[in-house]
């Protein structure tokens, strides 16, 4: 099972640039999309199937 601890994460381009630690980080893998709060990486993380994530990011 993937826990996302060793993944390369990207910060959202919509994050507040005035404070680089205030953002959402996303780490995609072939089977799971891992999402976490950069301020609290040790807290709960969201995981989603790629199809569900695609529906989320393309929703109006």
Per-residue pLDDT, 19: 67
Per-residue pLDDT, 23: 81
Per-residue pLDDT, 50: 94
Instruction: Count the domains in the chain.
Output: 1
Q: How are beta strands 24-28 and 10-11 bridged, if at all?
A: antiparallel
Per-residue pLDDT, 21: 65
Per-residue pLDDT, 32: 92
Range of the domain at 28: 10-51
Interacting residues of 2 by C-beta distance below 8 A, sequence separation 6+: 29, 31, 32, 34, 47
In-domain check, residue 5: no
In-domain check, residue 42: yes
Q: Can you give the pTM of this predicted structure? A: 0.71
- Residues of the chain scoring pLDDT < 50: 1
């Amino acid at each position: 099972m993937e826990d996302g601890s060793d993944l390369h994460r990207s910060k959202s381009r919509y994050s507040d640039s005035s404070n680089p630690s205030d953002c959402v980080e996303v780490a995609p893998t072939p089977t799971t999309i891992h999402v976490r709060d950069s301020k609290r990486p040790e807290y709960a993380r969201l995981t989603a199937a790629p199809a569900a994530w695609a529906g989320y990011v393309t929703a109006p």
